[in-house]
Structure 1
Amino acid sequence: MAFIDFSDAALQALPTPLTQPAETLDAMERRIVALARGDGLASLKPHRKRGWFLRLILGPTPPSAMLANEQLEALRRLAVRAWHHGYTLPVSALKEARQAGYSEAKIGAVIDTIGRNRAPFRSIAA
């Protein structure tokens, strides 16, 4: 069996840091990504107030998980979906983040950060 060395071809195919600058997340964005880990998909739905009867039985309406800053809220929504769906995000999540002003590189950095920190997939048989 023959061995073919593809290491030279792989180095030429990979982008260098000089040609494509890597986008990094600042401290606030990293904090929002970390906080989004504990949020469920239900936090993406609009917040409804409870009626008087439900307030009587269940107590006051809990605070909303939404952020006041619209751009950071779009980042939180993207991060929540990425924590739950991994790399198979819906196109609407990417479109919403782009409309909020995030570049493709910043969106990729968020998704890659979450992908590295996510628990690996476990099979049922193991």
Structure 2
Amino acid sequence: MAFVNFADAAPAALPIAHSAIFAMRRPEAVEPYVAPPQVAPLDALERRVIELARGDGMETLNPRRKRSWLARLILGPQAPSPVLANERLEALRRLAVQAWHHGYTLPASALHEARKAGWDERQIGAVIDMIGRLQPPVRRLAA
């Protein structure tokens, strides 16, 4: 987008060229507008967390209980937890799990939790759009 300086043409077009409006000092050089560099909303690690969340079920969002000694004796050791150690990435994983299962109809609590963890609206939208693009199209049977 370019800036057009009409101040030079205005005194010649008006009948009163020496008014107080044009007596003000004009800047000698107008700096062109430079757009800020576009930053990708999600980096490679965050995109990988979203892809890994595809295989997680909704039960991974519930808090885990420790097995009793009898359950460990019968069922064996407990499986490793899917919860991530980084709180910000864990909030992203929780948002991605819900987006994989609910699509664009996410609960408001999921969006609030992601905002509380430090994700802004642009990044949340990028997560939901990425998941929407990666999901296969829905095939409907003819009725």
TM-score, normalised relative to structure 2: 0.70
Measure how far apart 1:47 and its partner are: 1.1
- Work out whether 1:75 is the aligned partner of 2:75: no
Larger radius of gyration: 2
Name structure 1 gaps, 5 residues minimum: 1-17
Q: Structure 2: how far apart are the matches of 1:56 and 1:124? A: 48
More helix by proportion, 1 or 2? Answer: 1
Alignment of 1:105 onto 2:136: no
Closer, same or farther: CA 112–22 of 1 in aligned 2, 3 Å: farther
Q: What amino acid is aligned across from residue 92 of structure 2 in structure 1?
A: L
How much does 1:124 deviate? 4.8
Aligned length: 108
Report the counterpart of residue 38 of structure 1 in structure 2: 55
| 1:114 partner amino acid | I
Point out where structure 2 has 5 or more consecutive residues left out of the alignment. Answer: 1-34
2:132 to 74, 94, 115: 115
1:23 touches 1:109 (CA, 8 Å); kept in 2? no
Does the 8 A contact of 1:23 with 1:106 survive in 2? no
Report the more deviating stretch, 115-124 or 97-106: 115-124
Moved over 4 A (4+): none
Deviations 1:64-109 (A, max 9, x none): 0000000000000000000111000000000000000000000000
- Which residue number corresponds to residue 108 of structure 2? 91
RMSD of the alignment, in Å? 1.8
Q: Which has the higher contact order (CA 8 A, sep 6+)?
A: 1
